Amino acid sequence: MKVEQQKKQQQSNTKMNTPNPPHVLILPFPFQGHINPALQFSRLLISKGLRVTLIVYAEITTELTQGQLGSLAVHFLSTHDDEEEEPAVQAGGFGFLDRFAKTVKKELPRVACEIERETGSGAACLVYDSVAPWALEVAREMNIPCASFFTQPCAVDAILYSYYEGRIRAPITDKEEKFRVDGMAEVSLAVHDLPSYLHDEDDEYAPECLALLAAQFSNVAGADWVFCNTFTALEEKIVHWMCNKFRFKAVGPTIPSIYLGKQLSSDDTCHEYGLSLFKAQHSPTYLKQWLDSQQPKSVVYVSFGSVASLSDKQTEEVAAALEKLDRPFLWVVRKSEQDKIPPGFVEDTSDRGLVVTWCCQLEVLAHASTVCFVTHCGWNSTIEALSMGVPMVAVPQFADQPTNAKFVEDVWGVGRDGEEKAMARSEEIEWGVVEVMEGERAKGIRKNAEKWKTLARAAVADGGSSDRNIEDFVDELVNLQLLKRLEL
Ligand SMILES: O=c1ccn([C@@H]2O[C@H](COP(=O)(O)OP(=O)(O)O[C@H]3O[C@H](CO)[C@@H](O)[C@H](O)[C@H]3O)[C@@H](O)[C@H]2O)c(=O)[nH]1
């Protein structure tokens, strides 16, 4: 072991052996795409010797129970007052937002006291989802430092910050306008490349969503740290720009280390230690056997994440593309979406395709038989594919997805962006898959995909940019705790 590595290991061991290591509370927004990075960030902190309790707002599910996920404690908060009200999280409504805020404000200080009684250590920091900026006040009332955690990339954050500061006005009506945004002036953005809520006048939820996203910046300058699930090499200039604005640290990719060529004692594969809000009808073993039975680099993986509800027409177009491609495929269609699949499709394609309600996406992306990913470009899916070197065919739907798709093709060169966002025709999907698999362009895409895979691994490796940022945060917390003890 190199001297530097030995020193790091010793330091880490010292933190591990601290009788009362700092205890961090992590509060994700109650959606799958926010819980996943928060959960994995928790594991990274645990691997550095901290204690962590993940606080999950439980309106989203009644099936999960309080407990431990390996070394991670999970605490579910529930809304006793509002039992009558319709759970709206999965339906995409906004009623739950107030209940979420009300419940956390009321319950979190009590939970922190409970944890302190049980473990002997008080909360040392609250890491809250950036879309819950009111949590900063909760931390201040609890008299603890706090960090805002962004689950979308810096490019998207920079655009939304421009909107927040009034440099972009919404709704954008001139569809020919071009944008250059502070922090990433070298990228020219068409209207359809921007987060959808800035310009999609047909989306009835756009104003509320935009307000929610703009509010991320309302008090972020006051947060003690600002984290983002990205890595420096991926968004170098924007990361530096963010560092000049906020106490910013890129800490990603926040995906289980086992998929990044590293094995932390604190984590394992996603289906063993995940916290999934969706049920898969097939066991992980069945899925693995199915993937194992396919040729290397042959399976087209298709998924639109945990929120997007495709139109009947878009679902038909995806199905038609898969029929015409005549290649093996694995398509995730959540249970609530299954009735949109054209009649007979599943039976007609069963010799080469599998339609599932949910799967462990990371296992699929990491599998040798997967060749490309037809994706909505939710940020987790995008950074997971980038980290595993899987080329993408973008079929963005809403929110940050169009911007992520633009970067996938034009900035990172790892796939094809859709011509007509939110409504991709079957030919476009079909050609996209062929383009990322065959010919000269595919070679370049594969080369870039390998490059980003290597850089993602380097970011989380010991001494890598994200690893160092997490170490620095942990050191700061340990020092703060020591100071607090000396003051007592
Ligand atoms: O069958 C599946 C499908 C998805 N996933 C996982 O679920 C997560 C999905 O996250 P993401 O790809 O970001 O999509 P959404 O669920 O749509 O995420 C929401 O949250 C993201 C982070 O804020 C945004 O980037 C998206 O636009 C927004 O829709 C990923 O970790 C996937 O690995 C599975 O494990 N199994």
Q: Per-residue pLDDT tens for 12-26?
A: 545 555 668 999 999
CB 308 less than 6 A from any atom of ligand 1: yes
pLDDT at 378: 98
Residue 129 annotated as catalytic: yes
CB 378 less than 6 A from any atom of ligand 1: yes
Would you tell me how many other CB atoms lie within 10 Å of the CB of residue 94?
Answer: 12
Write down the catalytic residue from 23, 75, 129, 400.
Answer: 129
pLDDT at 265: 60
pLDDT at 71: 79
Q: b/e map of 250-283 (b: 16 or more CB within 10 Å)?
A: bbbbbbbbbbbebebebbbebbebbbbbeebeee
Residue 34 annotated as catalytic: yes
Q: What is the pLDDT along the chain (488 residues), one digit of tens a residue?
A: 444 544 554 455 455 556 689 999 999 999 999 999 999 999 999 999 999 999 999 765 545 555 677 778 888 887 655 444 444 444 456 778 999 999 999 999 999 999 888 888 789 999 999 999 999 999 999 999 999 999 999 999 999 999 999 999 999 999 999 999 999 999 999 999 999 999 999 999 999 999 999 999 999 999 999 999 999 999 999 999 999 999 999 999 999 988 998 766 655 555 555 688 888 889 989 999 999 999 999 999 999 999 999 999 999 999 999 999 999 999 999 999 999 999 999 999 999 999 999 999 999 999 999 999 999 999 999 999 999 999 999 999 999 999 999 999 999 999 999 776 667 999 999 999 999 999 999 999 999 999 999 999 999 999 999 999 999 999 999 999 888 878 76
Q: Are 23 and 124 in contact (CB under 8 A)?
A: yes
CB 381 less than 6 A from any atom of ligand 1: yes
pLDDT at 307: 94
pLDDT at 152: 98
CB 103 less than 6 A from any atom of ligand 1: no
Q: Which H helix or E strand runs over 211?
A: helix 206-214
Which residues touch 212 (CB under 8 Å, ≥6 apart)? 97, 131
CB 399 less than 6 A from any atom of ligand 1: yes
Complex-level ipTM: 1.00
DSSP one-letter code for 409: I
Q: How far is the CA of 380 from the centre of ligand 1 (A)?
A: 5
CB 229 less than 6 A from any atom of ligand 1: no
| Probe target for ligand 1 pocket from 379, 383, 403, with the most ligand atoms within 8 Å of CB | 379
Q: Whose CA is nearest to atom 18 of ligand 1?
A: 33
Q: Whose CA is nearest to atom 19 of ligand 1?
A: 33
pLDDT at 315: 97
Q: Which atom of ligand 1 is nearest to the CA of 400?
A: 27
Write down the catalytic residue from 34, 75, 192, 376.
Answer: 34
Q: Per-residue pLDDT tens for 25-35?
A: 999 999 999 99
HSE at residue 443, side-chain half, CA atoms within 13 A, is 2
Give the closest residue to 4 by CA, choosing from 459, 457, 464.
464
State the chain's maximal CA–CA distance in angstroms: 71
CB 305 less than 6 A from any atom of ligand 1: yes
CB 380 less than 6 A from any atom of ligand 1: yes
Give the closest residue to 255 by CA, choosing from 453, 65, 21, 119.
453
pLDDT at 83: 47
Q: Indicate the pairing of strand 72-77 with strand 67-69.
A: antiparallel
Q: How far is the CA of 424 from the centre of ligand 1 (A)?
A: 19
CB 307 less than 6 A from any atom of ligand 1: yes
Tokens 């680099």 belong to 297
- Calculate helix-pair angle for 439-460, 426-437, nearest 10 degrees: 70
Q: How far is the CA of 485 from the centre of ligand 1 (A)?
A: 41
Give the closest residue to 452 by CA, choosing from 234, 184, 187, 250.
234
pLDDT at 7: 52
pLDDT at 270: 58
pLDDT at 52: 94
Tokens 């995940």 belong to 274
Q: Which atom of ligand 1 is nearest to the CA of 276?
A: 35
Q: Which atom of ligand 1 is nearest to the CA of 156?
A: 25
